[in-house]
Amino acid sequence: MDFNEKLKQLRQNKKWTQEELAGKLFISRTAISKWESGRGFPSIESLKAISQVFEISIDELLSNSELISIAEKDKAQQQKRFQHLLMGILDCMVGLLLLLPIFGKAQGERITFVNMWQLSPETLTLKIILSFFVILTMLYGIYELIVSRREQRIVITISLISTLFGILLFIMTRHPYPAAYLLMILAIKGVFLLNSH
């Protein structure tokens, strides 16, 4: 017997409506309806709750193939969540460009390294553009951390494109060390994405 049939039978044996079972599991009635019609599977957490409500083991609820399928799906979701978290953290790390002394500033015949705020006053427009990029990327990183529970492929794509744009921006403004820093971040993102597929 498949999970959807077992769940329906267990609920009917207790003489509960879908609404009553949903209340006991703290989920929507729609989720119960989907599970009973075979249009979806519960998460591992929901399976634990179902087994507690009906006082049976998860093994009794699921066949081996269903158990493997749910475990694989749960693993894929956790991997996607981790992916979003990593991308968000790396994008937030772009904010270090505001503080790190890796920008070259000419002082006579010497070049000293300063942070972005200490660049020459003549480069005010440049500072504003670079600061805007860094702050915007940091804010996007925070957004990525917030939506890490949702599966959104576009979020990762935008993260990669913004990092690539930053590399080009710093190369065009003749700041090789910040460009190298962003290139390192892009490489970490790329290696992680390649390993996760």
pLDDT for residue 59: 79
Helix (H, G, I), strand (E, B) or coil at 112: strand
Tell me the H-state helices in the chain: 3-13, 18-25, 29-37, 44-54, 58-61, 64-93, 124-146, 153-172, 176-195
Residues 1-4: contacts with CB within 8 Å, 24+ apart? 2/38, 2/63, 2/66, 3/35, 3/41, 3/61, 3/62, 3/63, 3/66, 4/35, 4/36, 4/37, 4/38
**CA separation for the pair 94, 181 (Å, rounded):** 8
4-50 confidence digits (pLDDT tens): 888 899 999 999 999 999 999 889 999 999 989 988 878 778 888 99
**CA separation for the pair 68, 86 (Å, rounded):** 27
117-163 confidence digits (pLDDT tens): 887 777 788 888 888 999 999 999 998 888 766 656 788 888 999 99
pTM of the model as a whole: 0.65
